[in-house]
Amino acid sequence: MTIAELSVSQDPKNPDFVQNPYQFYAAMHRAGPVFFWEEYGMWCVAAYDQVNALLRDRRLGRENRWGAPLNPVEGREHLTDFDRIESGSLLEREPPAHTRLRTLVNRAFVSRSVERLRPRISLLANALVDALPAGQAVDLLPAFATPIPLTVICELLGVPVERGQDLLSWSHAMCEMYVPQRSRETEERANRASSEFGAFLTAHIEDHRHNGADDLLSALIAVRDTGEKLSDAELISTCVLLLNAGHEATVHQTGNAVKTILDQGGDPRRFFATPELAAATIEEALRFDAPLHMFTRYAYEEVDLGPVTLKPGEQVALLLGAANRDLSAFDAPHDFRPGRPDQKNVSFGAGLHFCIGAPLARLELQESLSVLFERMPEMKIETPPRYRDSYHFHGLESLVVR
User: What sign has the CA pseudo-torsion 292, 108, 168, 375?
Assistant: positive
pLDDT of residue 69: 47
Residue 72: pLDDT band by 50, 70, 90 thresholds?
very low
Mean pLDDT of 199-208: 88
Residue 228 has pLDDT above 70, yes or no: no
pLDDT of residue 395: 96
Residue 213 has pLDDT above 90, yes or no: no
pLDDT of residue 44: 98
What confidence tens digit (pLDDT) does each residue in 94-147 have? 999 899 889 888 877 887 788 899 999 999 999 999 999 988 999 999 999 999
What confidence tens digit (pLDDT) does each residue in 13-31 have? 999 999 999 999 999 999 9
- 3-401: CATH topology is Cytochrome p450 (1.10.630)
- In angstroms, the Cα distances linking 278 to 233, 256, 282, 316 are 40, 16, 6, 35
Residues whose CB is less than 8 angstroms from the CB of residue 168 and which lie 6 or more positions away in sequence, other chains included: 146, 150, 247
User: What sign has the CA pseudo-torsion 38, 39, 43, 49?
Assistant: negative
Output Rg (C-alpha) for the chain, integer angstroms: 21
Q: Which residues pair with 299 in a beta bridge?
A: 60
What is the rounded distance in angstroms from the CA atom of residue 125 to the CA atom of residue 119?
A: 10
What is the rounded distance in angstroms from the CA atom of residue 148 to the CA atom of residue 242?
A: 15
What confidence tens digit (pLDDT) does each residue in 229-282 have? 778 888 888 888 888 887 889 999 999 999 999 999 999 999 999 999 999 999
Of 361, 10, 362, the C-alpha closest to 181 is: 10
Residue 88: pLDDT band by 50, 70, 90 thresholds?
confident
What confidence tens digit (pLDDT) does each residue in 283-332 have? 999 999 999 999 999 999 999 999 999 999 999 999 999 999 999 999 99
Residue 226 has pLDDT above 70, yes or no: no
H-helix segments, 69-183: 80-87, 97-106, 111-114, 118-131, 140, 147-157, 164-175
Q: Within 13 A of 395's CA, how many CA atoms are on the CB side? A: 21
Q: pLDDT exceeding 90 applies to what percent of the chain?
A: 68
Residue 68 has pLDDT above 80, yes or no: no
Bond prior to 210 in cis (omega within 30° of 0): no
Conformation bin of residue 4: beta by default, left when phi > 0, alpha when psi is -120 to 50? alpha
